[in-house]
A and B are shown apart, each in its own frame.
Chain A
Amino acid sequence: MKIRKLLIRWLGLVSVGIRRTASRATYTAKQRIRFSVLGVAIVIALLVMVTSLGVGLATSTTVYDEDIDYWIVPDTNSPESPLIATDNPQFSSVHETNNRIREHEEVESATPVLSQVLQMGTNETKEYILVVGIINTPELDRVSGLGSSPLTPNDPYYANGEYKGEWTGNTVLSQSAAETLSVSSGDPISVAGNNSFTVTAVDNQSRSVGNVPTALVQLSELQSLTGSTTYDQAEQFVVGTNSPTVQSDLQEIYPDSSVRSRGEMTASNTRDSDLSLALALTAFLVSLSIGLLFVVTTSGLEIVADRQQLAILSAMGISTKSQLKLVGVQTIVMTGVGGLLGAVSGLVGIRLMNIAATRTITTEPIAVSHPLFVGYGISVALLIGLLSLPFLLVAARRVSGGVP
C-alpha cells in the first residue's frame, strides 16, 4: 500500500513537473525556459556536428564503396598478428589468397588493398597523393571512390608467383588529384620517382570522402614501389557479395584477422582512429562542461526566481523532498527537450556543413550523418541534466520553505 502511494505520488509529481515546464515554456515564463532549452540545444547541436566530422575523418581513409560488403582486416592488437608488421600489420601472400576468395561461389568481387601516400607528379608539379593498389577484375566497380575499370584486369605484373609480368603503368586519378597535379588522361606521370606510369583515366565521378587526392594503380606495381613484394603484402581485402553466409568463410582465411560488415567497419574505424576519437571525446567533454555550467547557471537562477513558488508549495504541505523531485523532473524535461532539438538541429547542421563544403572546398561530404546521433545527443543532454541535479537540489533546498 505504501509503495503504491509512493508510486502514485511519483507519477503525480512527474505529471505536474512536465505540465509545469510545458506551461512555463509556452505561457508564464516563455523567455527564461526557451533560453535554457536553446542553450542546451546549441551545445548538443555543436556536439553532434563535431562528432560527425570526427566520424567523417575516420571513414575518409576507408576504402568505401557501395559494392563492397565485407572488409578483411588484420587484428591490430593480436600478439600473433599475421602478418608482417610495418607501421600497421599487413597480410601476406595476398595474390594467392585473393584467388582463393574469388573461387568462393558467393563472392562476386574481391581485391586486396594496399594504400600509401606517395609523391606523384610531372617534371613541373610534384604532390603527395594517396595511392591505392588493387587487383582489378571486371566485377569490381569502384574502390576508394574511383572506378577501377580503366585498369588492366588481374594485375598482370604479378604472374606465376613472381613480379616479372607485364608492367602496365596504369593510373586512375581522382578529379582532385588530376587538378592538383595538373594532368589529364594520357599524360605520363611519376609515382615515387618511377616514371613509367601513365594517367589511364581521370575519374570525374570520384567519391573519395573529404576529396582526398587519390590514385588507383595495380597492386603489384605499388608493392614493387614500396618494397612490399617480399611477402606479397596488402593491408586489407574488400569483398563484394550478396550472401551474408560468406562472412564466416572469410573469417577462416587468416587466423588473426577480422571480417567486418559495413556497419562494423564504420564503428571500428571511428574507434580505432585516434584523431577522430580524440575529436569526438573532446567534443563530448567540452559539451558536457559547457552544458553543465549553462544548465546549472540558468536553472539555478530559475530556482532563485522561483523561490516564492517553492515557499507556496511548502506552505501547502508539499515536502521539501517532493519539491526537489519537481525541480529534478523539470530539469530533466528541459534538458531532454533541449537535447532532442539540439540533435535534430545538429543533423540539419551536418547537412548544411556538407553542402557548404561541397560547394567550396571539396567534392564530397566531409561529415557523416546518422540517425543514432539523435539518441546520442539526447543521452548527453540527459546526462547534463542528471549531473546538474545535485547542485540544483542543494540550491532548491536552501531557498525552499519560509513564508511566501
Chain B
Amino acid sequence: MARSAAPDMKTSSPSTIVTANDVTKVYQRGSEPGRLARVLGRSEPPTVSAVDSASLDISNEEIVGLAGPSGSGKSTLLHILAGLERPTEGSVLFQETDLATLSKRNRTRHRLKHIGIIFQQFHLLDSLSARANVALPLVELGIGKQQRRRQATELLERVGLGDRITHRPGELSGGEQQRVAIARALITDPDLVVADEPTGELDTDTGRTILQAFKEVAENRAVVLASHDHETLEICDRLIQLRDGTVTNRLKQESSSDEDS
C-alpha cells in the first residue's frame, strides 16, 4: 500500500506532522443550569477531565501507539489530534495550523484534506457499496466520477477487496469492512491516519492482517493507533502510555523499529 498510488506526492523526509502542547479536555456531566435552575439553587454540573495536560509530537512515517486502560483518555486524545474535538486548553499544531483555533467548518475541511480516520466499529455507510464508501470523500473534493471510481477501485484492490467493490457493508465480514475503512481513510492521501481500536472488533487472524495493512499505510505518513491490545501496539514505533488522562510513560519500541529497518 505504497503512497505512490495517491494523487499528491508529499515529502518523504521525516518531519513533525502534529504537535500537542499541554492539551486538556474537560467534559461536563449534564447540561448547564438555566436561569430558573440557578434561582432554584441548581449548581453547575460536575466536570470530568478526560485528558490532562498531554503533550506529544508525531512525525512523518512513524506509527505511534496510545496505550492505556479503558477510560484513560486514549480515544479523546486521538479525536483531538484528528480535529474531531477541540481541546479545552492547550494547542494542537498540525503542520503549523492550530486546530484548537479553527472553526468547525475549517476543521471538517482540514480532516478532508489531511486526516484519515479509522474507527473500531468501521462506521461505513451501510446503504452505499464498498467503492461508493471509499470514493465519498472525493465527491467533497469535487473530483469527477470516472476518477473517483478508478481511485477507489485501485485502493480496494490494494487492500485485497478487488472482487468486493460492489458489495454493501452488510455483505462484508468484519475484516473486510475494516479494510474498506482503511481504503476510505487513505483515499484523500492524508498526512495523518488515526485509528481507534482498529482490531477491537476482529478475530486474532483478521486483526493481524489488518495490522500488516497498517504498517504499509505508514509509508510517507504518520499513523496514531489507540488500543489497549498488546499485539496491536507491537507494530508501533513509539508508545505513549496514558492513565486517567495523563501521559505516564513514553516508550521507544526497539524491536518494532528493528523490524522496520
Give, as a whole number of angstroms, the nearest-CB distance from A218 to chain B: 72
Q: Is B238's CB within 8 Å of the partner chain A? A: no
For B119, the chain A residues whose CB sits under 8 A away are 315, 404
Q: Given contacts A16-B136, A23-B168, are A316 and B111 in contact (CB under 8 A)?
A: yes
Q: Given contacts A19-B128, A312-B123, are A317 and B142 in contact (CB under 8 A)?
A: no
- Interface pair B105/A319, CB less than 8 Å apart: yes
Docked pose: A23 CA to B117 CA in angstroms:
25
A1-38 interface (Cβ within 8 A of B):
4-6, 8-9, 11-13, 15-16, 19-20, 23-24, 27-29
Q: Is A322's CB within 8 Å of the partner chain B? A: yes
Contact with B along A291-330 (1 / 0, CB 8 A): 0000000000000000011001111111110100000000
Give, as a whole number of angstroms, the nearest-CB distance from A319 to chain B: 5
Give, as a whole number of angstroms, the nearest-CB distance from A300 to chain B: 19
Q: Is A85's CB within 8 Å of the partner chain B? A: no
Q: Is B195's CB within 8 Å of the partner chain A? A: no
Binds A, one of B143-151, B221-229, B252-260: B143-151
- Interface pair A16/B111, CB less than 8 Å apart: no
- Interface pair A315/B128, CB less than 8 Å apart: no
Q: Is B184's CB within 8 Å of the partner chain A? A: yes
Q: Which of B108, B138, B143 contacts A319 (CB 8 A)?
A: B108
Q: Is A365's CB within 8 Å of the partner chain B? A: no
- Interface pair A28/B188, CB less than 8 Å apart: no
Q: Is B125's CB within 8 Å of the partner chain A? A: yes
- Interface pair A24/B145, CB less than 8 Å apart: no
Considering only CB atoms, which chain B residue lies closest to A23 in the complex?
Answer: B127
Give, as a whole number of angstroms, the nearest-CB distance from B117 to chain A: 5
Considering only CB atoms, which chain A residue lies closest to B139 in the complex?
Answer: A12
- Interface pair B128/A23, CB less than 8 Å apart: yes
Give, as a whole number of angstroms, the nearest-CB distance from B38 to chain A: 25
Give, as a whole number of angstroms, the nearest-CB distance from A32 to chain B: 12
Q: Is B244's CB within 8 Å of the partner chain A? A: no
For B104, the chain A residues whose CB sits under 8 A away are 320, 401
Considering only CB atoms, which chain B residue lies closest to A311 in the complex?
Answer: B123
- Interface pair A12/B170, CB less than 8 Å apart: no
Q: Is B132's CB within 8 Å of the partner chain A? A: yes
B31-82 interface (Cβ within 8 A of A):
79, 82
Q: How many residue pairs between the two chains, A and B, have CB atoms under 8 Å in the bound complex?
A: 98
Docked pose: A9 CA to B136 CA in angstroms:
10
Q: Given contacts A9-B140, A12-B145, A315-B84, are A404 and B79 in contact (CB under 8 A)?
A: no
- Interface pair A9/B108, CB less than 8 Å apart: no
Give, as a whole number of angstroms, the nearest-CB distance from B189 to chain A: 12
A74-102 interface (Cβ within 8 A of B):
none
Docked pose: A317 CA to B141 CA in angstroms:
10
Q: Given contacts A19-B128, A20-B127, are A317 and B139 in contact (CB under 8 A)?
A: no
Docked pose: A403 CA to B119 CA in angstroms:
10
Docked pose: A194 CA to B82 CA in angstroms:
96
Q: Given contacts A19-B128, A24-B127, are A13 and B109 in contact (CB under 8 A)?
A: no
Docked pose: A20 CA to B113 CA in angstroms:
24
Q: Is B155's CB within 8 Å of the partner chain A? A: no
For A401, the chain B residues whose CB sits under 8 A away are 104, 108
Q: Is B112's CB within 8 Å of the partner chain A? A: yes
Q: Given contacts A16-B136, A312-B123, A404-B123, are A320 and B128 in contact (CB under 8 A)?
A: no
Q: Is B85's CB within 8 Å of the partner chain A? A: yes
Interface centre among B105, B123, B127, B144 (most CB of A within 10 A): B127
Q: Given contacts A16-B136, A23-B128, A403-B79, are A319 and B142 in contact (CB under 8 A)?
A: no
Q: Given contacts A20-B127, A309-B125, A317-B112, are A9 and B188 in contact (CB under 8 A)?
A: no
For A309, the chain B residues whose CB sits under 8 A away are 125-126
Give, as a whole number of angstroms, the nearest-CB distance from B22 to chain A: 22
For A20, the chain B residues whose CB sits under 8 A away are 125, 127-128
- Interface pair A317/B84, CB less than 8 Å apart: no
- Interface pair B126/A8, CB less than 8 Å apart: no
Docked pose: A11 CA to B184 CA in angstroms:
20
Q: Which of B84, B105, B137 contacts A320 (CB 8 A)?
A: B105
For A308, the chain B residues whose CB sits under 8 A away are 123
Docked pose: A308 CA to B122 CA in angstroms:
12
- Interface pair A29/B142, CB less than 8 Å apart: no
For B112, the chain A residues whose CB sits under 8 A away are 316-319
For A28, the chain B residues whose CB sits under 8 A away are 126-127, 168, 170
Docked pose: A29 CA to B168 CA in angstroms:
13
A203-251 interface (Cβ within 8 A of B):
none
Docked pose: A23 CA to B168 CA in angstroms:
10
Give, as a whole number of angstroms, the nearest-CB distance from A304 to chain B: 17
Give, as a whole number of angstroms, the nearest-CB distance from B138 to chain A: 8
B195-229 interface (Cβ within 8 A of A):
none
Interface residues in chain A, defined as those with a beta carbon under 8 Å from any beta carbon in chain B: 4-6, 8-9, 11-13, 15-16, 19-20, 23-24, 27-29, 308-309, 312-320, 322, 401-404
Of the A-B pairs whose beta carbons lie under 8 Å apart in the complex, a sample of 25, sorted by A's number, is A5-B141, A5-B142, A6-B142, A8-B143, A9-B140, A9-B142, A11-B145, A16-B128, A19-B128, A20-B127, A24-B127, A28-B127, A29-B127, A309-B125, A309-B126, A313-B136, A314-B108, A316-B117, A316-B136, A317-B109, A317-B110, A317-B111, A322-B140, A402-B84, A403-B84
Which 8 pairs of residues, A with B, have the shortest CB-CB distance? A317-B112, A5-B142, A12-B139, A23-B127, A317-B111, A9-B142, A312-B123, A20-B127
- Besides A29-B127, A317-B115, 7 new A-B residue pairs in contact (Cβ under 8 A), listed by A number: A16-B139, A23-B128, A308-B123, A316-B117, A318-B136, A320-B104, A403-B79
